[in-house]
Amino acid sequence: MTADAVIACGGSSSRMGRNKLLADIGGVSCIRRTCMAFDSVTAINKIIISAPQEHRKEYECAIGQLNKEIVFVQSGASRQESVINAVKKSDADIVVVHDGARPLVSSETIEKSICDAKKYGSSVTCVPAKDTIRYDDGEKSYVPDRSDLYIVQTPQSFLRQVYLKAAQAAVMHEKDYTDDAQLVEAIGVKPHITMGEYSNIKLTTSEDLACAEALLDSMHGRTPRSCMPRIGHGYDVHRFSADRKLVLGGVQIPHDMGLLGHSDADVLTHALMDALLGAAALGDIGGMFPDSDARFEGISSTVLLKEVMKTLRSNGYELQNCDVTVIAQRPKLMPYIQQMRQTLSNAMGVDTTRVSVKATTEEGLGFTGRGEGIAAHAVAIIY
């Protein structure tokens, strides 16, 4: 059975005081971190995001490049309407509905939710209530048995046809549910409780951001001491070749010559990758992507950069910021700097404010000054 992710991103973030989906959590935007979790799940075909049209461009930039197809749909006047709009764009057997503001959801939780939806027709992710809860409506006041109470989370997964039938009934009876499982339960489909994780918090207020950062550190096994910054330096140089395209920072630059190399010879990105690997003491790109390996012949260096970032993150590291200087007598690179920054930040899954690119010359001196090639230095700080 196939499955699509439906990410609800139509909220106003009024209690946060700013757009929480663009908030930085461990160097990655909230919305990208959420999408990355679903991108890592094999069972997910595509990710459908329900969001206001006016935020689409900034969300696209914040999400950057992922492996799976990303589809945007217009959000509605309510959460229910927003989710229905997205579900209608799916052609999968199962829809996995998730709050965009739950960036710490694990792939394991998503996989369990899908598995239970296949088995039971619906799945609502919950965790047992830890706190004592008092009910008080002004007339009655009592404490319900905590052992029977669950805190409802997302993802919530459903057979798509079941969800659409429930949505049609809700619209017909003018019902507006804030919880997707409620909507399905209204047509007699009892939601199966799938155990979630307490770390899968929803960002609502500014205090939640601090909690998310702390949880992220804990999930990666980072302590205050281990969070000390680590610095790496990278250097690379490539000579010009008349039969090659010139690619720098993932951007093709119009020029009469390109750079010679086994891959696309993107000297800027190569220096950056070495800086990242060096900061983590994980070797260099020569060891990770040897030029004797035919798989890397002609490959885009931004593809390799994504692999470097995966390696860093699997070792518990995140990028704080990086600074790259390209040394080239020609061509003029200033018109392409911002595009390079955006391309590199997309590949690394970080905000552009964490990526600096500069260009300079050696005033006609040396290898680059004679126009024989291009060099690049990079410094990266990780934590």
Q: Tell me: pLDDT of 16 over 50.
A: yes
Is 236 annotated among the ligand-binding residues? yes
> Locate tokens 């990303």: which residue?
70
Is 291 annotated among the ligand-binding residues? yes
Is 362 annotated among the ligand-binding residues? yes
- The amino acid sitting at 121 is G
Q: Tell me: pLDDT of 25 over 90.
A: no
Is 286 annotated among the ligand-binding residues? yes
Q: How confident is the model at residue 12 (pLDDT cuts 50, 70, 90)?
A: confident
Beta-carbon contacts of 167 under 8 Å, excluding residues fewer than 6 positions away, are 80, 84, 87, 183
Domain ranges of the chain: 3-219, 230-382
Is 307 annotated among the ligand-binding residues? no
Q: How confident is the model at residue 97 (pLDDT cuts 50, 70, 90)?
A: very high
The pLDDT value given to residue 59: 93
The pLDDT value given to residue 226: 52
Q: Tell me: pLDDT of 34 over 90.
A: yes
The pLDDT value given to residue 240: 96
Mean pLDDT confidence for 162-177: 95
The pLDDT value given to residue 219: 78
Percent of the chain scoring above 90 in pLDDT: 80
Beta-carbon contacts of 147 under 8 Å, excluding residues fewer than 6 positions away, are 128
Is 56 annotated among the ligand-binding residues? no
Please tell me the least confidently modeled range out of 74-78, 210-214, 220-224. 220-224
Is 263 annotated among the ligand-binding residues? yes
Is 238 annotated among the ligand-binding residues? yes
Is 270 annotated among the ligand-binding residues? yes
> Locate tokens 């930039």: which residue?
61
Q: Tell me: pLDDT of 223 over 60.
A: no
* Range 65-86 burial, b when 16+ CB lie within 10 A, else e: ebebebbbbebbeebbbbbbbb
Q: Please tell me the CATH code under which domain 230-382 is placed.
A: 3.30.1330.50
The pLDDT value given to residue 225: 47
Mean pLDDT confidence for 306-316: 89
Q: How confident is the model at residue 214 (pLDDT cuts 50, 70, 90)?
A: confident
The pLDDT value given to residue 227: 57
pTM tops 0.75, yes or no: no
Q: Could you read off the pLDDT of 122-164 as tens digits, one per residue?
A: 999 999 999 999 999 889 999 998 888 999 999 999 999 999 9
Is 240 annotated among the ligand-binding residues? no
Is 155 annotated among the ligand-binding residues? no
Q: How confident is the model at residue 316 (pLDDT cuts 50, 70, 90)?
A: confident
Beta-carbon contacts of 71 under 8 Å, excluding residues fewer than 6 positions away, are 46, 47, 48, 49, 89
Mean pLDDT confidence for 233-253: 96
Which architecture, in CATH terms, is 3-219? Answer: Alpha-Beta Complex (3.90)
Is 363 annotated among the ligand-binding residues? yes
Nearest alpha carbon to residue 105 among 11, 163, 41: 41
Q: Tell me: pLDDT of 17 over 80.
A: no
Percent of the chain scoring above 70 in pLDDT: 98
Mean pLDDT confidence for 363-378: 94
Is 262 annotated among the ligand-binding residues? yes
Is 370 annotated among the ligand-binding residues? yes
Is 290 annotated among the ligand-binding residues? yes
Is 237 annotated among the ligand-binding residues? yes
Is 204 annotated among the ligand-binding residues? no
Is 285 annotated among the ligand-binding residues? yes
Mean pLDDT over each residue of the chain, to the nearest integer: 93
Beta-carbon contacts of 22 under 8 Å, excluding residues fewer than 6 positions away, are 29, 30, 31, 58, 59, 62
